Amino acid sequence: MTIYEINKDVIKYRFGNPICTHAVMKDGIEKKEKDLPFFQLEQGETIQLRYKMKVDDIVLGLGENQRGMNKRGGIYESFCSDDPLHTSDKKSLYGAHNFLMIEGTEKFGVFIDHPGKIIFDVGFTHKDYLEIRIDDHDVDIYMIKGNNLRKIVKNFLNLTGDGYVPPKWAFGYQQCRWSYKDANEVEKIADLFFKNDIPCDAIYLDIDYMEDFKDFTISEERFPNFKSFVEKMKQKGFRLIPIIDAGVKIEKDYDVYEEGVKNKYFCVDENEKPFVAAVWPGRVHFPDFLNPDVRRWFGLKYKNLIDCGIEGFWNDMNEPAIFYTDQGLKKAIKHAKESENENLDIYTFFSLKDTFVNLSNNIEDYKSFYHRLDGELVSHHKVHNLYGYNMTRAAAEGFREIDPNKRFLLFSRSSYIGMHRYSGIWTGDNHSWWEHILLNIKMMPSLNMCGFLYSGADTGGFNGDANAELIIRWSQFSLFTPLFRNHSAMGTRSQEPFAFDEESKNIIKNTIKLRYALIPYIYSEYMKAVINKDIYFSPLSFEYDDEMSKRVENQLLVGDSIMITPIYEENAKGRNVYLPEDMLLWKVENYNDRNYQVLKKGHMYLDVDFREIPIFIRKNKMLVLGKSANNVESIENDELHVIAFVTDQAKYSYYDDDGKSYDYKEGKYSEIVIEIEKKNEEYHIKIDPRGNKKVEKLHFEIIDREGKVTKRTINL
């Protein structure tokens, strides 16, 4: 074991000779340190770490995973998986996010930088022990210090580089559905948004737009004159976001296939022939994204679509998902033939059935192909968790080369720590289940802790049929997630905002309008989180020290000023709420109508009608909001409203920038610093409009402890 000090808060423990994942962007200085702290270590062919948890310890982190925010009681396996049934017993979803924190007697973070399989047994096998089992003897382990949870997260995020920033329009509402079959249908959807006066910024193109599911092609038949169609839709105010899949169709004369074979850009089998698997188009090859030349080649392919006016993409099936391989299929068919005329009993029948069920995403297939890493063949199984990450890196680096100072929308299904530098993620194929709203709520802060700020779930659920109430309640939560996209699977019930009755449509419309009105706040908080290596969604325990705040998992802090208490149960007309301090409640039905209520610290039952969205403004904090519009670019925010709950003094820094370039990195952004102080029953407002050219007026509503509202307008 070699020990490196990265900085005063982070020590790296290196075992053997690990494969470089590029998750961490910082080197350290070699050090004579003591042994790995906190953990009992077992080292051999594999490495195991064991930590005895105290009764009240909580364990946070692990990003995209099942179960609670507190991961105790569960067992999780880092092995990126295409599994469309997210039940609570599932150990792996699409991402591998090997960072966790202990908060209790001891406070620390640990990041296991390893691209293969890892088990996190958080008190599952033995309730008191956290055990981390790494399927290898080459690994980097980072131990991260910090006085509190937020500080530990910041120290961790400080290692992994600057976070991804999408264009501002990507904070608008977005509509997707797998099965918008052609240009006419896409346009019809856009027109329905317009006709119903529902704001929307983007409509997605799922695999249906491609020709025979070939990446970077466009079906001439279903999307004739694609470039002018993209232009026409942009005129109407909608951007189109095509999907890109990981597998490249094997087809003679298809340029991506031909070039990939010629240049040896594909992963290979044991005979060093391009590895064959089957996904959407039937047989495909997988680009070897671990190789920088391949990344550059694939990344520049996005240009075909960018040249047509496309400004955003989603990368799918990049775990990589495998439907079957020829070897697997052959075995299964043989098994089936041998079973013909047999008297199949419980064992032999299920064994036959399982051979077919296990055709997809089979571990034997992942073990049967290879990457070329610095000239050497490395088994895919060993580096499995790097695949989607590097596909997405390829895309992001391609965009930077194609149009260097332009931000593109990009998110991926599979991911690894460090991929947040290149894109966001969405949480894959969930269901139209109420449980999945709650899972979504609990997962968002965990994803943030691992760096993934631009994220969100398929609002309304991907698989299964949604009813109007589910879409309403889910949208009322998703309106706070940076990625706010409604998506559903082919064959399920339509779930666009106008797919239900008139009343439900209007409620969803008001919800989406509230989102647009909140974009000044959401964008400001998002950008500050990126710049300060902070998170956007926090558990209450990040801000409040009391014991109860550690236990609450169904309420979140959004940015610095507000707390939300979403409804995630069918037919619920309210819920229990815990206030760690006095707060100001604004129950929003229509964002132009204000109503305020000061609520006392403690527990309460809150009535929440279908039409209502409760927003809690924290004590001595401010919420900034503007106006809604058809889409983000047409929002006029020359006048902003500030709702402040002030008992002593409050300060808010409102961030904004051009929303489309990387100039913010050179300090080209504006910040309006607002300070309100209450002295002798008078409010003193101080405004420092640093670099601001857009906002001309601020309308204040300042609410005091008694609920008295003081209005003030200030010209900048």
* Cβ contacts of 9 within 8 Å, gap of 6 or more: 144, 145, 146, 155
Residues 283-342 that bind ligand MIG (CB under 6 A): 316-317
222 binds ligand MIG (CB under 6 A): no
Tokens of residue 165, six digits? 């920033």
Is the Cβ of residue 146 or residue 428 nearer to ligand MIG in the bound state? Answer: 428
Tokens of residue 343, six digits? 């008297």
Residues 656-695 that bind ligand MIG (CB under 6 A): none
560 binds ligand MIG (CB under 6 A): no
Contact 622, 642 (CB under 8 A): yes
In angstroms, give the least distance from the CB of 178 to ligand MIG.
Answer: 4
Residue 28: CB atoms within 10 A of its CB come to: 17
How many angstroms separate the CA atoms of 363 and 270, rounded? 16
In angstroms, give the least distance from the CB of 94 to ligand MIG.
Answer: 8
For 444, phi and psi rounded to 5 degrees? Answer: -60, -50
Is the Cβ of residue 463 or residue 549 nearer to ligand MIG in the bound state? Answer: 463
In angstroms, give the least distance from the CB of 388 to ligand MIG.
Answer: 12
In angstroms, give the least distance from the CB of 485 to ligand MIG.
Answer: 10
Is the Cβ of residue 92 or residue 160 nearer to ligand MIG in the bound state? Answer: 92
178 binds ligand MIG (CB under 6 A): yes
How many angstroms separate the CA atoms of 183 and 491, rounded? 19
Among 64, 103, 140, 429, binds ligand MIG (CB under 6 A): 429
Is the Cβ of residue 123 or residue 281 nearer to ligand MIG in the bound state? Answer: 281
206 binds ligand MIG (CB under 6 A): yes
In angstroms, give the least distance from the CB of 323 to ligand MIG.
Answer: 9
In angstroms, give the least distance from the CB of 97 to ligand MIG.
Answer: 18
Residue 368: CB atoms within 10 A of its CB come to: 18
Name the E strands within 265-341: 277-279, 282-285, 312-316
How many angstroms separate the CA atoms of 299 and 289, rounded? 10
Is the Cβ of residue 65 or residue 412 nearer to ligand MIG in the bound state? Answer: 412
Is the Cβ of residue 178 or residue 516 nearer to ligand MIG in the bound state? Answer: 178
Is the Cβ of residue 176 or residue 468 nearer to ligand MIG in the bound state? Answer: 176
Q: How many helices (H) and strands (E) does the chain have?
A: 15, 43
Residue 499 carries which side chain, given as an amino acid letter? A
SS3 state at 688 = strand
207 binds ligand MIG (CB under 6 A): yes
Is the Cβ of residue 315 or residue 524 nearer to ligand MIG in the bound state? Answer: 315
Is the Cβ of residue 123 or residue 428 nearer to ligand MIG in the bound state? Answer: 428
Is the Cβ of residue 161 or residue 428 nearer to ligand MIG in the bound state? Answer: 428
Name the E strands within 213-298: 239-245, 248-249, 277-279, 282-285
Is the Cβ of residue 58 or residue 210 nearer to ligand MIG in the bound state? Answer: 210
Nearest residue to ligand MIG by CB is: 178
Residue 154: CB atoms within 10 A of its CB come to: 17
**Per-residue binder mask for ligand MIG (CB under 6 A), 457-486, x = binder:** -----x------------------------
Which segments of 124-174 does DSSP mark as H helices, in order? 149-157
Tokens of residue 435, six digits? 């449980």
- Identify the CA nearest to 527 among candidates 620, 418, 664: 664
How many angstroms separate the CA atoms of 628 and 201, rounded? 12
Q: Which residue has the tokens 């068919």?
A: 333
How many angstroms separate the CA atoms of 7 and 26, rounded? 9
In angstroms, give the least distance from the CB of 488 to ligand MIG.
Answer: 8
Using DSSP bridges, classify how beta strands 312-316 and 409-412 pair: parallel, antiparallel or unpaired: parallel
State the burial class of residue 397 (Cβ atoms within 10 Å of its Cβ: 0-12, 13-18, 19+).
Answer: middle
In angstroms, give the least distance from the CB of 439 to ligand MIG.
Answer: 16
Start-to-end Cα distance in the chain: 59
Contact 517, 626 (CB under 8 A): yes
Q: Which residue has the tokens 């640093």?
A: 690
Residue 426: alpha-carbon gap to chain centroid: 5
In angstroms, give the least distance from the CB of 413 to ligand MIG.
Answer: 6
Among 165, 243, 613, 674, binds ligand MIG (CB under 6 A): 243
Is the Cβ of residue 317 or residue 417 nearer to ligand MIG in the bound state? Answer: 317
- Site size for ligand MIG (CB under 6 A): 11
Is the Cβ of residue 281 or residue 328 nearer to ligand MIG in the bound state? Answer: 281
9 binds ligand MIG (CB under 6 A): no
Among 428, 461, 539, 626, binds ligand MIG (CB under 6 A): 428
In angstroms, give the least distance from the CB of 211 to ligand MIG.
Answer: 15
In angstroms, give the least distance from the CB of 321 to ligand MIG.
Answer: 7
Among 285, 413, 505, 621, binds ligand MIG (CB under 6 A): 413
In angstroms, give the least distance from the CB of 486 to ligand MIG.
Answer: 12
Is the Cβ of residue 208 or residue 525 nearer to ligand MIG in the bound state? Answer: 208
Residue 87: CB atoms within 10 A of its CB come to: 10
577 binds ligand MIG (CB under 6 A): no
In angstroms, give the least distance from the CB of 461 to ligand MIG.
Answer: 11
Q: Cis bond leading into 224, ω under 30°?
A: no
Q: Any bridge partners for residue 556, and if so which? A: 564
- Contact positions vs ligand MIG (CB under 6 A): 178, 206-207, 243, 316-317, 413, 428-429, 462, 487
